[in-house]
Structure 1
Amino acid sequence: MAARIDPFTEMERLLTSALPTARTATSMPMDLLREGDHYVMSVDLPGVDPGTIDVSVEDRTLTVRAERSARSSSADWLVRERPSGTFARQLTVGRGLALDKISASYADGVLSLTIPVSEDAKPRKIEVSHAGTASQISPAHAVEA
């Protein structure tokens, strides 16, 4: 029987074990979805002090930073899987978002960002005006001309 290998899972496993910065994405898992005229980004940040959460936008880059304090290191750890320290996640956002109107809330270990679509990017109907009274050409006249 052939073994099935997922190259993306293997690559993530290798990067996570080799590079400490590769753990950042898995330490801050997120969901991003669109609901009507705004996007909702939910970032899991359990155990983070809400005072350490920083959300900023510079140019077209949205950055979320937070810090989880480490417990006493003098203890005899049996299992230590929850990372501590400062975590950051950056997303390059496209045009058409109202970045100056982003709102954020933190509840039950989840940071929620609401990112509205800008008024310029929203679909709109353009009315076509009709100037004057133009006579229509009937199919019979079109053939004779």
Structure 2
Amino acid sequence: MATYGDPFQEMDRLFGSYAGNARQAGGLPMDLFRAGDHYVLAMDLPGVDPGTIDVSVEDRTLTIRAERTQRSGDDTQWLVRERPTGTFARQLTVGRGLSLDQLSASYADGVLSLTIPVTEEAKPRKIEVAHSASTTAIGQGSEERHTIEG
């Protein structure tokens, strides 16, 4: 029996559903999709200093960290303060089949984008089925004989 293996299947188990809200995801909502022979992960990081973004890989764990600093000053008087500040981190355990050593990252307009190629072994490929001429001989009674020549 053939099954489809999703290299990000652990994410759902560890962090709730893909459609979960930002609070469940630790304040780092993301989208994940496959486009051809690579995966793209887009994570919202508005108001984050790009110099604080850290993406690292250890074994099969992808860690994303970023920091949003609090605006402060001696004359600051907060009226409403709903935007979270501090260090945010998210760890994703990925399965085999991804080239984590070839991961690339970019940050634009408050969105961190990671592109993760699929390994050659995990890419879909067509297997050609060889065939040869065969003859079938039917004997007497209900016995059936097959001769396969190769």
Same fold (TM over 0.5): yes
Number of equivalent positions: 122
Assess if the C-alpha contact under 8 Å between 1:24 and 1:89 holds in 2: no
1:29 corresponds to which letter in structure 2? P
Give the Cα separation in 2 of the matches to 1:70 and 1:24: 22
Identify the structure with the greater strand proportion.
2
Distance 2:110 2:51 in 1: 13
More helix by share: 1
Contact 1:24 1:87 in 2 (8 A): no
With the length of structure 2 as denominator, give the TM-score of the two structures. 0.72
**1:127 Cα deviation after fit:** 3.1
1:104 offset after TM fit, Å? 0.5
Question: 1:105 is aligned with what amino acid?
Answer: S
Distance (whole Å) between structure 2 residues aligned to residue 43 and residue 97 of structure 1: 19
The equivalent residue for 2:101 is 100
Aligned to 1:65: 65
TM-score, length-scaled by structure 1: 0.74
What residue number does 2:9 align with? none
Structure 2, unpaired ranges of 5+: 1-15, 146-150
User: Any idea what the Cα deviations from partners look like across 1:79-126, whole Å, max 9, x if unmatched?
Assistant: 101111111011111110011111100000000001111101011123
SS of residue paired to 1:104 = strand
Q: Percent identity?
A: 71
CA shift for structure 1 position 40? 0.7
Structure 1 match to 2:135:
137
Alignment CA distance shift 1:90-1:47 (3 Å): same
The runs of at least 4 aligned residues of structure 1 exceeding 4 Å deviation read none
Match of 1:44 in 2: 44
Runs (5+) with no aligned partner, structure 1:
1-7, 14-21
